Amino acid sequence: MNNFSKFLFISFSIFATQTHAETAFKKVSECETDYFQGSFCLKANITKYKKALKTMKPNFNHKYILLNTGSSDSLEMIALDTQTGIGYPLNYQFTGWEDNQGNVLKKPSATFSLTDSKLCLSGSQYDGDHPGTHETYSNIKNCFMIKKDRSYTSFESTYVDKVDYDYDEKTKTWRPF
51-83 residue pLDDT tens: 999 999 999 999 999 999 999 999 999 999 999
Rounded Cα distance between 120 and 4, Å, is 48
Residue 139's SS3 state is: strand
Type and span of the H or E element at 54 = helix 43-55
The whole-number pLDDT of residue 3 equals 46
The whole-number pLDDT of residue 131 equals 47
Rounded Cα distance between 66 and 88, Å, is 9
Instruction: Give every CB contact of residue 149 below 8 A, 6+ residues apart in sequence.
Output: none
The whole-number pLDDT of residue 21 equals 61
The whole-number pLDDT of residue 33 equals 65
- Write out the DSSP string of 90-120: ---EEE-EE-TTS-EEE--EEE--TT-SEEE
pTM to 2 decimal places: 0.80
The whole-number pLDDT of residue 41 equals 87
The whole-number pLDDT of residue 133 equals 45
Regions of the chain short of the pLDDT cut 70: 1-21, 33-38, 127-135
Residue 132's SS3 state is: coil
